[in-house]
Structure 1
Amino acid sequence: MQLPSLFPALGLAVLLGLAPSWTLAGDGHDHGEAPAAAGGPALPRFAATSDLFELVGVLDGQKLALYLDHAGDNSPVKEVQLELDIGGTPVPVTRVADGEFQAALAAPLAEGVSPVTATVVAGADTDLLAGEIDVHAAAHAHAEPTGGRDELVAGAVAAVLAALALVWGLRRGRAARAQRLGGAA
């Protein structure tokens, strides 16, 4: 019995058998815990900036969360008056904390792009910020995930190749053994 001729085929089979795990790892993949995926589409938001201030708004239905920071150091703006206008309609704003505000829209925003302007008065600094908020229906909220299919196909092909290599190696080993034994199997 000559086992060394079987070792290259077994080595190839093992190598190809491990290939599916290689195909599942992407660039920078560290096999750590995967981050939680977002459950749905991102909420509409806008950003309006100037040399002095940065305003970010996040729309959730008819509720609007607003965050106002100093542009230079990203610290929340204290002691400030904020006036907001969306699509030509004034929106009343309520202060929640330093640099944090909330607003309730009287009606849902129309689908599409709406202009946003904010007037900021903080001490001696006064500024007008402008931006746009883009509201679209969640048309792709239930889109089928596309990642993973290519990796699964590559893994299946590698498994089939590994099985074929194993069968080939076993047959080759049997043929060599039969030759050594004088043709009797």
Structure 2
Amino acid sequence: MKYVISLVLAVAMAASAFASPGAHGPNGEHLDGPAGTASTGTAPRVETFSEAFELVGQLSGGELSVMIDRYETNEPVLNGQLEVEYKGVKAAAKFHPDMGDYAIDDEKFLKALATPGKHALLFTFIAGEESDLLEGTLEVTAPAAAVHQHTSAWKWLALGGALALSITVLMWLRRNKKNKVTI
């Protein structure tokens, strides 16, 4: 009976090697890549600042979402007007008061930004009597589906070892059952 328990434990350990999150963060991003490299699971971002404003934008969820703060105080700048230009194409952002961000959802503009590469963006921002031009680069890596692989030699080795152990234990139990050895 104790050998059956050992068999069950061996199979459970092998299964857990496949079910565990491994080297992934909470959003599926790879944590086991070389330090300082962009993760393929991370949404493309742009960050820039001027003397007056700082801007952080993220390309995800079918939009370019942009947060704008005052550079000196980090105070959010709400209800302004934002326009983004890329290769001569301009798109106006809509302010979302519930999220405090400025979002661009123009399909043609987003399709151009979604292509892999470095995209130089020019942001024109107007808030009351203040206005500013901010330049930033949005870097988009290759599509995640093209580079994302979940094969690991250690996982296959663990599965193979558990399978070999299971077969060995089953053969031993079968042989001892024929010899009528009591456990």
Unaligned residue ranges in structure 1 (runs of 5+): 1-9, 177-185
Q: TM-score, normalised by structure 1?
A: 0.56
Higher relative contact order, structure no. (Cα contacts within 8 Å, ≥ 6 residues apart):
1
Alpha-carbon distance change, 125 to 12 in structure 1, aligned in 2, over 3 angstroms: farther
> Partner letter of residue 69 of structure 2?
H
Alpha-carbon distance change, 85 to 169 in structure 1, aligned in 2, over 3 angstroms: same
Indicate conservation of the 8 Å contact 1:48/1:131, yes or no: yes
Which residue among 164, 167, 174 is the counterpart of 2:171? 164
Alpha-carbon distance change, 74 to 141 in structure 1, aligned in 2, over 3 angstroms: farther
> Partner letter of residue 102 of structure 1?
I
1:16, distance to aligned residue in structure 2 (A): 3.0
Equivalent positions of 1:135-150 (< 5 A) are 135=140, 138=143, 140-141=145-146, 145-146=150-151, 149-150=156-157
Alpha-carbon distance change, 152 to 36 in structure 1, aligned in 2, over 3 angstroms: farther
Alpha-carbon distance change, 111 to 15 in structure 1, aligned in 2, over 3 angstroms: closer
Q: TM-score, normalised by structure 2?
A: 0.56
**Could you say which residue in structure 1 is the equivalent of 2:137?**
132
Equivalent positions of 1:94-133 (< 5 A) are 94-98=93-97, 99-104=101-106, 105=108, 108-109=112-113, 111-123=116-128, 128-133=133-138
Paired residues in the alignment total 156
Provide Cα deviations, 1:111-170, integer angstroms capped at 9, x if missing partner: 422212323333466555443223456484496642664454333223112213324544
RMSD: 4.5
Indicate conservation of the 8 Å contact 2:83/2:93, yes or no: no
Unaligned residue ranges in structure 2 (runs of 5+): 30-39
Alpha-carbon distance change, 25 to 119 in structure 1, aligned in 2, over 3 angstroms: same
Alpha-carbon distance change, 78 to 36 in structure 1, aligned in 2, over 3 angstroms: closer
The 3-state SS of whatever aligns with 2:124 is: strand
Distance 2:92 2:125 in 1: 12
User: Is 1:20 matched up with 2:21?
Assistant: no
Distance 1:96 1:53 in 2: 16
**Greater C-alpha radius of gyration:** 1
The 3-state SS of whatever aligns with 2:165 is: helix
Which residue among 160, 163, 167 is the counterpart of 1:153? 160
The 3-state SS of whatever aligns with 1:92 is: strand
Alpha-carbon distance change, 151 to 117 in structure 1, aligned in 2, over 3 angstroms: farther
> Partner letter of residue 94 of structure 2?
R
